[in-house]
Amino acid sequence: MEHEFSGEVIEWRGPAPYYFVPVPDEAAEAMKAAASAAGYNVWGMLPIRARLGSTEWKTSLWSRDGGYLLPLKDAVRKPERLDAGDPVEVGVAFEAPARKPTQPKAAPARRVAVLRSAGSREPIAFEQLTIVPANQATWDDLQAIFSAADPARCWCQRFRMLPKESWDSEGPEELSARLRDQTACGNRKAQETSGLVAYVDGEPVGWCAVAPRADHPRLLRDFRVPWLGRNEDRTDPTVWAVTCFVTRAGYRRRGIGRALARATVPFARAGGAQALEGYPDLVDGGSVGTLAMFTAAGFTEVSRPGNRRAVLRINL
């Protein structure tokens, strides 16, 4: 059931602004009731379908101070020419994620062959991979990639969290809901998505986060590596950043991260970026990637602030 209400656009002013519409108490209570009936955690982010004018999109309500805020993406806000203080009429409806269907006992022969390849040490060539923007992937596929313990705790939100937020304070359910909102998984018509998903014969095997650098409040505020010894406009929307790689268990150390790093270049260029940066770990790579991954993709080292980190960049 959709709930319509009037509201006013508000702005959170930080390194990267976010725009919201506060949900009135009556509508918020109705959302909580619908979520509770579906067995959903009403204190986290609630997946919803929203409508503003003729535009409909899927997102998540942000839980704040016992109520909810409806985030307005630029792809929705800008065509409507909305800014902070503008009145709006919106509609929201709770929309629980579809349950993953029970797998049949006998998997198709092709899928069995793919699953048997998991754990192999044989390199996977770039040409063997299908790499797509995240909104062309399903949320179930992305969850399969994030099944390992550490990525499933962070959900690629390390650099995106706001002041005073942490993995523990927000919890994996809310962080995963934010990633789902950022990627717009399953919404092929979405104008914005924040990364790439890699497949081998239809099996999801890798993820890479790539988005405007200014969309990462903690990267701009707390992470010193990109800024030491450089004179950079931290809010420049034309500079994008590659911030995270996740390879599915059983497919690691086979070239998937390197292929994803290579694919970030045309993806960022198509999104309007004029430059793209990466911040690899020179010791073990980890979730931020290795120096070799970025140099193979055409990035050039521009600084090395310390013994462990480097800044690599490619101008587009």
How big is the chain by its Cα radius of gyration, in Å? 20
Q: Find out whether 90 and 4 touch, Cβ atoms under 8 Å.
A: yes
Half-sphere exposure (CA, 13 Å, Cβ side) for 250?
Answer: 14
Model confidence, pTM: 0.65
SS (H, E, C) the chain: CCEEEEEECEEECCCCCEEEEECCHHHHHHHHHHHHHCCCCCCCCEEEEEEECCEEEEEEEEEECCEEEEEECHHHHCCCCCCCCCEEEEEEEECCCCCCCCCCCCCCHHHHHHHHHCCCCCCCCHHHEEEEEHHHCCHHHHHHHCCCHHHHHHCCCCCCCCCCCCHHHHHHHHHHHHHHHHHCCCCCCCCCCCEEEEEECCEEEEEEEEEEHHHCHHHHHCCCCCCCCCCCCCCCCCEEEEEEEEECCCCCCCCHHHHHHHHHHHHHHHCCCCEEEECCECCCCHHHCCHHHHHHCCCEEEECCCCCECEEEEEC
- Cα separations in angstroms, 42 against 20, 31, 46, 166, 294: 19, 8, 7, 19, 41
- Please report whether residue 101 resides in a domain: no
- Domain stops at, among 94, 119, 147: 94
Give the chain's domain count.
2
Size of the chain, expressed as the number of residues it contains: 316
pLDDT band at 39 (very low <50, low <70, confident <90, very high): low
Q: What is the pLDDT of residues 234-247, one digit of tens each?
A: 889 999 999 999 99
Same domain, 248 and 154: yes
Residues 90-119 have a mean pLDDT of: 55
pLDDT band at 115 (very low <50, low <70, confident <90, very high): very low
Q: Is 203 exposed, middle or buried (CB count within 10 Å of its CB: 0-12, 13-18, 19+)? A: buried
Same domain, 51 and 115: no
- Please report whether residue 141 resides in a domain: yes
- Please report whether residue 190 resides in a domain: yes
- Please report whether residue 100 resides in a domain: no
Beta carbons within 8 Å of 53's beta carbon, 6+ residues apart: 80
Q: What is the pLDDT of residues 242-279, one digit of tens each?
A: 999 999 988 888 899 999 999 999 999 998 999 999 99
Same domain, 181 and 62: no
Same domain, 54 and 176: no
Residue 161 pLDDT greater than 50, yes or no: yes
CATH code, 307? 3.40.630.30
Same domain, 121 and 243: yes
Residue 154 pLDDT greater than 60, yes or no: yes
- Please report whether residue 293 resides in a domain: yes
Range of the domain at 188: 109-315
- Domain stops at, among 39, 67, 94: 94
Same domain, 138 and 256: yes
Residue 47 pLDDT greater than 80, yes or no: no
- Domain stops at, among 37, 65, 94: 94
Name beta bridge partners: 262: none
- Please report whether residue 104 resides in a domain: no
Same domain, 218 and 254: yes
Q: What is the pLDDT of residues 52-79, one digit of tens each?
A: 887 888 777 776 766 788 888 777 888 8
At residue 256, the pLDDT reads 93
At residue 235, the pLDDT reads 87
CATH code, 53? 2.40.30.100
- Please report whether residue 99 resides in a domain: no
Same domain, 271 and 210: yes
Same domain, 88 and 145: no
Same domain, 159 and 276: yes
Same domain, 164 and 58: no
Same domain, 173 and 292: yes
- Please report whether residue 90 resides in a domain: yes
